[in-house]
């Protein structure tokens, strides 16, 4: 039989609380977001709509992408294309989960950014700026190019 006095009980309780706090800290790791390879297709003809792409790398805790904007356009929406029953469909995503220690790739045929109201005169070779807002990591900007792929 083990006998514990009040001091032992308090020490064990304190150690248990410290371990619990460490465990919770591991679950709330700060996101470490890196943005790269941003590009946008030039708008075809006289249209003012196109698609943009990039890579979001997260080397930290989970986060959520909540919005995207660009000074080249009136609006940027997050979309995903999916094949179901031999039919390709596109739907808007209000938010996009960014997994802990994961990568989200915006590419043709999958997740992409629909760019609406592209300002007149935007052409191949122009600089693209995208501003992404994350729930936890805040606002980040990435530079890219208007063209047929990342620069």
List, for residues 90-149, the tens digit of each pLDDT value. Answer: 999 999 999 999 999 999 999 999 999 999 999 999 999 999 999 999 999 999 999 999
Mean pLDDT computed over every residue of the chain:
88
Confidence bin at 25 (pLDDT 50/70/90): very low
Neighbouring residues of 135: CB distance < 8 A, sequence distance ≥ 6: 63, 64, 65, 66, 95
d(Cα 98, Cα 118) in Å, to the nearest integer?
27
In the chain the domains, ranked by start, together with CATH numbers, are 33-146 (2.60.40.1890)
Q: Where are the beta strands (DSSP E) in 27-72?
A: 33-40, 49-58, 63-69
CA angle, residues 80, 38, 67, in degrees to nearest 5: 55
The pLDDT score that the predictor gives to residue 16 is 53
pLDDT over 80 (residue 1): no
């Amino acid at each position: 039989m083990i006998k514990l006095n009040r001091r032992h009980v308090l020490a064990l309780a304190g150690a248990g609380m410290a371990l619990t706090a460490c465990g919770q800290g591991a679950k709330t790791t700060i996101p470490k977001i890196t943005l790269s390879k941003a590009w946008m297709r030039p708008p075809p003809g006289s249209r003012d709509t196109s698609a943009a792409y990039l890579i979001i790398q997260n080397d930290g805790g989970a986060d959520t992408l909540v919005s995207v904007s660009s000074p080249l356009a009136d609006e940027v929406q997050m979309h995903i294309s999916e094949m179901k029953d031999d039919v390709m469909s596109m739907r808007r995503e209000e938010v996009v989960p960014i997994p802990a220690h994961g990568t989200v790739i915006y590419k043709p045929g999958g997740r992409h950014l629909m760019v609406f109201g592209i300002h007149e005169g935007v052409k191949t070779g122009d600089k693209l700026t995208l501003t992404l807002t994350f729930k936890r990591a805040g606002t980040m900007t990435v530079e890219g190019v208007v063209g047929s792929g990342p620069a």
